[in-house]
Structure 1
Amino acid sequence: MTTQLSDLETQLEQVRSVASGAIASADTLDALEQLRVKYLGKKGELSLVLRGMGKLDPGDRPRIGSLANEVKEALQQQLDDRRSALQAARIQAQIEAETLDVTMPGVYRPQGRVHPLNLTVDRAIDIFVSLGYTVATGPEIETDYYNFEALNTPADHPARDMQDTFYLPGGHLLRTHTSPVQIRYMEQHEPPVRIVAPGRVYRRDTVDATHAAVFHQIEILAVDKGLTFTDLKGTIQVFLRRMFGADLPVRFRPSYFPFTEPSAEVDVQWQGKWLEVLGCGTVDPNVLKAVGYDPEIYTGFAAGFGVERFAMVLHELDDIRRVYGSDLRFLKQI
């Protein structure tokens, strides 16, 4: 055996021994990959040893080639086995770390509640939907036409003073009621019409126990052949009985709105006194004309109320501002 052959065999066995020990002690997949590159890569130690084959006699080269393949296959198998073991250990550690101990006390999270305003809106809408009304919505930023003009309230009309609002650039404003939804809906639909329109509205009211500059409103509109004030009164009475109970005292008072004629205010008994909660009336013919309806054929009625006022009656609140304060001590009582 030539000296060169003996040296190469010794070097190959040394590579096998050192690499085998390093692989067995590797504790991460990254470290294992580094060992693979170090010993079996193109520039690894096994390749460096094989470079000496060029100095061997041609008859000795097959022997070194066979030994080198044996060392490479052995190390590769050891690498695969160690990789599988490390992967299994990592999965097991993850499983143990993420295991849920069902015997441990749970983390307490306070249960949420529906806000009193949302409760009131949902309750009112459910009643009107059961009466055959469809929910309709519209933009909170409106034009003067939809908020006033189409509702029989021209620019010089004194009724505008009752609904002074917040004006925006470009002739727009924050709507003072959800009545513009009625106009927009009628423009797109032919009679018969029965809609309920909930939404947020804005007025320059002085904030006190029963008023707010930003509040919520629900309006209804019905247009068909032969509708009268009697139909309106019956609808309101059915609604109020379902909302508050049959024993709640209710009264209708003559009033004025530019978009209904005749008109009325509806009061309910609240904390020993009458509280105005709703306005209503039969639709003015000018409003029907504005949307292309023939007032000689169709009539209708409309009504609107502040959600906050209804919430005050339902939950016996003494101040409308309580529903905006986000005080959990108050909200938990609802």
Structure 2
Amino acid sequence: MTDTAHRASDTAIEAAMRRALEIAARGPAVGENPQVGCVLLDARGEQVAEGWHRGTGTPHAEVDALSRVVDSSGLTAVVTLEPCNHTGRTGPCADALIAAGVARVVYAVADPGELAGGGAERLREAGVEVTHGVLADEAEDLLHPWLTSVRFGRPFVTVKWASTLDGRAAAADGTSQWITGAAARQRVHEQRAAHDAIAVGTGTVLADDPSLTARGDGGELLPHQPVPVVFGERPVPADARLRQHPAGLLELGHRDLDRALAELHGRGIRRLYVEGGPTLASAFIQAGLVDEYLVYLAPLLLGGPKTAIDSLGIETMRDARALRIHRIETLGDDLLLVARPAKEA
């Protein structure tokens, strides 16, 4: 262990955590594992190695960083998430840090998982100095979908819709292509690829015959494809385009949202993208199961009854669902509003 009088300064620690967050974002946003980054510092606060998690079955960030140094004794490990304390496809990161002789571990947010949590306690028991909470807000934001999924035992639910400025999703004759422009539509494909699964109702499947693939600017399939999940009791037609989806097709055979989310979580789905029309979106909203809203607004006016969201059972202003705007993007002539429930503010 190093002499605590000669260790990385708070400034060096914070800079290392910012770097750890930056490289953590290189890892895949989908799958059961979180995006994690790790930076190793010497006693002078100089970086000697870094690592990040590249996906299921690959070394965790701490192990990746440790593999890049010959002698890690006395170093400080700066990690975006509390080192894990369980054996899955890989061994516990807490034990790897202890075996490597790391003197101090600094992490941003605690691991809320019942199996993986407890790494900090394990490190302290072994005599490793542990500090937590450095840049916790930034780490919470990066890991928000994964942390939400772990804390609630269900997928992080994103509801998306596109509408005119007056909230219409289609014209009176039912036409809706295209409300938004090419830049907004491409952003939707990128968001599909950032989720494990994409949800629609049987009504949308029968009416629109969507493909629900994630595609690039040239129409090519993106490397990751979300699994299409169909809510409802009616079967998907044999000739539906969803039958040809590269990620397969999951038909739930029911519309019980709580049951469905439990089933999806059990299948390893941690991020669910709900894109299946007003009925399904409104059901998720009314049930209080939406973690993030992606609302595309086009500078158009249509009027009429074809609203983007159906009735939510709200009859008075005091019962309105309060949201907070998390981010706003300009996409050509369109806007993307990213909002989350106000209770998370």
TM-score for both structures, normalised by structure 2: 0.19
TM-score for both structures, normalised by structure 1: 0.19
Higher share of residues assigned helix = 1
